[in-house]
């Protein structure tokens, strides 16, 4: 019989913007708090998964996001142009009528269309699922107290998610960082 464990309050500080949003289209930051519920069978030692192992995997996944600007690779509204300025690798980031110039080391590109809490939680779910295919997860990402997006597998998204997990699994090959 499956049981649940939960890790709460893992913090990542990042900035982002949401194209076309009246307020959030401006570059701004959050202290994101990540919670993960794990559902699965208890093993012979009495664990679904060791908390310290799970926490390390989650931190390895989110570390590249911490203290960086989160940018969606697949937004149709954003164009990225890498360039070198005075020996410094940067990206020109064109967003409608705005231009950002950011150092490469300050950016975390994510394979999503927008950096909403909903899509960040789905991205984290997929990364976890690619390492622990036999466990089920509910991943929540909070932007502020009382405002979070969550993702978990259900009948409506199962085929899509299983295909994405296979793709991620083949790309990560056991490496827990992005």
Task: Kindly tell me if the per-residue pLDDT of 43 is higher than 50.
Answer: yes
By residue range, what is the domain housing residue 146? Answer: 3-69+114-172
> Over the stretch 4-27, which tens digit does the pLDDT of each residue have?
999 999 999 999 999 999 999 999
- E strand or H helix at 4: strand 3-16
Concerning whether 143 is annotated as a catalytic residue, the answer is yes
Q: Which of 21, 28, 67, 133 is catalytic?
A: 67
Residue 58 resides in a domain: yes
Residue 95 resides in a domain: no
Residue 53 resides in a domain: yes
Concerning whether 24 is annotated as a catalytic residue, the answer is yes
Residue 24 resides in a domain: yes
Residue 85 resides in a domain: no
Residue 98 resides in a domain: no
SS (H, E, C) the chain: CCEEEEEEEEEEEEEECCCCCCCCCCCEEEEEEEEEEEEECCCCCCCCCCHHHHHHHHHHHHHHHCCEEEEECCCCCEEEEEEEECCEEEEEEEECCEEEEEEHHHEEEECCCCCCHHHHHHHHHHHHHHHCCCCEEEEEEEEECCEEEEEECCCCCHHHHHHHHHHHHHHHCCCCCC
Residue 121 resides in a domain: yes
Single out the residue of 177, 53, 63, 68 nearest to residue 127, CA to CA.
177
Concerning whether 152 is annotated as a catalytic residue, the answer is no
Beta pairing partners, 83: 90
The pLDDT of residue 159: 65
Distances (CA, A) of 85 to 89, 111, 147, 171: 6, 26, 39, 31
Percent of the chain with pLDDT over 70: 87
**For the residues 24-52, what does the mean pLDDT come to?**
95
User: For the chain, how many structural domains are there in total?
Assistant: 1
Give the CATH number, domain containing residue 19.
3.30.479.10
Q: Which of 24, 63, 118, 152 is catalytic?
A: 24
The pLDDT of residue 176: 44
- Report the chain's mean pLDDT, rounded to a whole number: 91
Residue 122 resides in a domain: yes
Least confident stretch, 19-23, 93-97, 99-103, 157-161: 157-161
Q: Which of 16, 30, 136, 143 is catalytic?
A: 143
């Amino acid at each position: 019989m499956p049981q649940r464990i939960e890790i709460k309050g893992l913090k990542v500080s990042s900035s982002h913007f949401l194209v076309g949003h009246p307020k959030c289209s401006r570059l701004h930051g959050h202290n994101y708090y990540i919670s993960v519920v794990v559902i699965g069978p208890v093993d012979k030692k009495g664990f679904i998964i060791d908390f310290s192992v799970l926490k390390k995997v989650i931190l390895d996944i989110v570390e590249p996001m911490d203290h960086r600007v989160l940018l969606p690779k697949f937004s149709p509204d954003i164009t990225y142009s890498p360039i070198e300025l005075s020996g410094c690798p940067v990206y020109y980031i064109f967003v409608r009528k705005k231009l950002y110039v950011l150092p490469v080391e300050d950016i975390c590109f994510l394979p999503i269309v927008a950096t909403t809490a909903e899509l960040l939680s789905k991205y984290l779910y997929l990364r976890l699922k690619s390492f622990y295919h036999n466990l089920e997860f509910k991943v929540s990402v909070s932007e502020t107290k009382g405002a979070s997006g969550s993702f978990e597998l259900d009948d409506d998204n199962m085929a899509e998610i299983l295909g994405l997990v296979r793709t991620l699994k083949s790309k990560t090959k056991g490496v827990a960082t992005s």
